[in-house]
Amino acid sequence: MKIVILDGYSANPGDLSWQELKTMGSVTVYDRTKPGETVERAAGADIVLTNKVIVGREEMARLPHLKYIGVLATGYNVVDVVAARERGIVVTNVPAYSTESVAQMVFAHLLTVTNRVEHYAIENRRGRWSANPDFCYWDFPHTELAGKTFGIVGLGNIGSRVAAIALAFGMKVKALTSKASADLPPGIVKADLDELFETSDVLSLHCPLTDATRHIVNAETLSRMKPTAIVINTGRGPLVDDRAVAEALERGTIAAYAADVITEEPPRADNPLLSQPKAFITPHIAWASTEARVRLLQVAIGNVRAFIEGTPRNVVNA
């Protein structure tokens, strides 16, 4: 069994091991693969693992031995699942491995905006507190979360976990969700899009990227928000219109934007959010805690083993 990993570095930059996978066949690991290299590198492979390298209809047509594509992520839009189904190629993903880590990042971002801990730590390393005439100082208003309204777009695994944490902070939680009100956990109120944008003090995005949700945060929806509102995106970059958010921050339409994802990754150097002082951007690392990556590899390798044994699991193109 020939197994090729097209972009293994992000999930495993060297601190984890592919050894278990190597017991199942001949394994070649590439840290990164450019689009034009995919077919050459995967030539003759029975099994291909990919994180962000696209395996589309054209690539599959040129890989006649390919039987299985394992996505090293939950989202599987990098694979043409229709073409794979037509060719009898099994496609799997790794669901829910990063729920806790992403939910934690949501509140790391939120607390960055409301408390600015790192700012003060840096200032104090420079001697500012030691030279201060008073016993304390602050450069930004500090915001208490208790009693504020936390709006959530999408109430899947991550959205539900985020809701539970928000409730633990004493926040009021509203959610835009397809679930019926009677099926929501205690403390979560179902809301429509207009209500969510108009009443949320914090709005956090946890929905899939579809034609309906692309740029769900745009100039028009931002204009409905409170000027003190904070928008958080740990979902998908294109859920927001980057330029519209940057302009809203510049005008004071909203107070802050915190995101772990951006429309184009890596972003262009001239992306307006990167230079906006009220935007707090991390480089798509919410999923990447050591614990989450261990789970990711365990499930991904288990998916391969299950496929080889004839009982595939986590199949997304059945």
Q: Active-site positions?
A: 236, 265, 284
Three-state DSSP class for residue 112: helix
In the chain, what is the straight-line distance between the N-terminal and C-terminal CA atoms, in Å? 22
Strand ranges for 122-186 from DSSP E = 149-153, 172-176
Measured at the CA of 100, the angle between CA 94 and CA 103, to 5 degrees, comes to 110
Buried residues in 189-205 as b, exposed as e (16+ CB within 10 A) = ebbeeebbbebbbbbbb
Extract the tokens encoding 67: 């039987």
Taking CA 234 as the corner, what is the angle to CA 296 and CA 289, rounded to the nearest 5 degrees?
A: 35
Please write down the HEC assignment for all residues of 203-252.
EEECCCCCCCCCCCECHHHHCCCCCCCEEEECCCHHHECHHHHHHHHHHC
- What tokens appear for 157 in the block? 């695994």
